Amino acid sequence: MVDAFLIFLNFYLMPGLVLGSIYALGAIGVSLIFGILRFAHFAHGDLMTLGAYLALTLVAGLGLSPLVALPFAMAGTIVISFGIDRFFYKPFRDKSTIVLVIASFGVALMLRSLIKVIWGVEIETYSVGISRPLVFFDSIRIAERHIWIIVLTLVLMVAVHGILTRTRIGKAMRAVSDSPELARLAGISTERVVKATWVIGGALAAAAGVFIGWDTQLQSSVGWNLLLPIFAATILGGIGRPYGAMAGGLIIGLAEELSSYPWIGSEPLLSPGYKTGIAFAIMVAMLIWRPSGLFRGRVY
């Protein structure tokens, strides 16, 4: 019984929390961008990939730890996000939403191609060799990076909560999300709010990218491959609800990992190859059962 619990903790629950943390960071950015700019940002996964590769440059070139490279990757991704918004999204803000969605697809393709040109198409890693896990109580083994990923995700979530609830720009963001017209009449600068949205969204996207690269491996399409679960987490929590995105990301990540646990008998309940299908199934079920999501987001 004890051995079964340790296997569950070490190989299913902890990886589920790590994966859920990564999904949550990506989903918060998608949710904020949708709430403020009113379009689904399909280039968000590739922003995550870009942040991961910016960190890789410092890790491989200067020998820095991924933790030390993380703030630089976040800053670089924020700057690039500003440029993307200025040249590819701002000219279309008064157009139909579908125009911005198509533009985000184009940006995704351009970012992916740029990553391939600069860093190549080979699989990259932040570290070489096998790192020893930390051992607690002589039996619980947890990789040190997993602890850092979960702790830093919680710190970033608390920081987002603080910004949204205790700062003027956070309150302005919430006002613009609820009603852009009323926010403008109240004298709120929507452009300032848009910039703040890209600061938060870009920083969290970079963090999610660095964490997935640190936990597994890097390739040019890693962020794109995570986009479906991230959108599933956004829909599950409620479109335009950052707190819902946090919860949705953790739920999707745990559901994917725990679905392969042998709940009945000795064989996995579902093959690990169907993990992404779990996210899609949850997303479809939520759209049918409760389109507004767990936190009552927007319904379009």
The Cα 243–Cα 162 span in angstroms is 12
Among residues 279, 124, 275, the alpha carbon closest in space to that of 212 is found at: 124
Task: Give mean pLDDT, residues 224-231.
Answer: 94
Q: Is 216 helix (H, G, I), strand (E, B) or coil?
A: coil
| Contacts of residue 122, Cβ cutoff 8 Å, sequence gap at least 6 | 219
Q: Is the pLDDT of residue 2 over 60?
A: no
Confidence check: pLDDT of 46 > 80? yes
Give the CA radius of gyration of the chain: 19
Please give the structure tokens belonging to residue 288. Answer: 């049918």
For residue 32, the Cα-to-chain-centroid distance in whole angstroms is: 12
The end-to-end CA distance of the chain, in Å, is 48
Q: What is the DSSP string of 114-159?
A: HHHHHH-SS-B-SS-S-PPPEEETTTEEE-HHHHHHHHHHHHHHHH
Mean pLDDT throughout 199-211? 97
Contact (CB, 8 A) for 123 and 217: yes
Query: Tens digit of pLDDT for each residue in 155-193?
Result: 999 999 999 999 999 999 989 988 888 888 888 888 999
Only one residue has tokens 């830093």, namely 152
Provide CB contacts within 8 A for 188, sequence distance 6+: 172, 175, 176
pLDDT of amino acid 11: 83
Find the range with the poorest average confidence among 20-29, 53-62, 242-251, 257-266.
Answer: 257-266
Q: List the domain boundaries for the chain.
A: 2-119+142-289
How far apart (Å, rounded) are the C-alpha atoms in residues 25 and 204? 5
Q: What is the CATH code of the structural domain delimited by 2-119+142-289?
A: 1.10.3470
pLDDT for res 300: 52
Q: How far is it, in rounded angstroms, from Cα 241 to Cα 233?
A: 11
pLDDT one-digit tens code per residue, 59-90: 998 989 999 999 999 999 999 999 999 999 99
How far is it, in rounded angstroms, from Cα 100 to Cα 35?
A: 14
* Residue 20: per-residue pLDDT: 95
Mean residue pLDDT of the chain comes to 90
- Residue whose token pair is 């009552």: 296
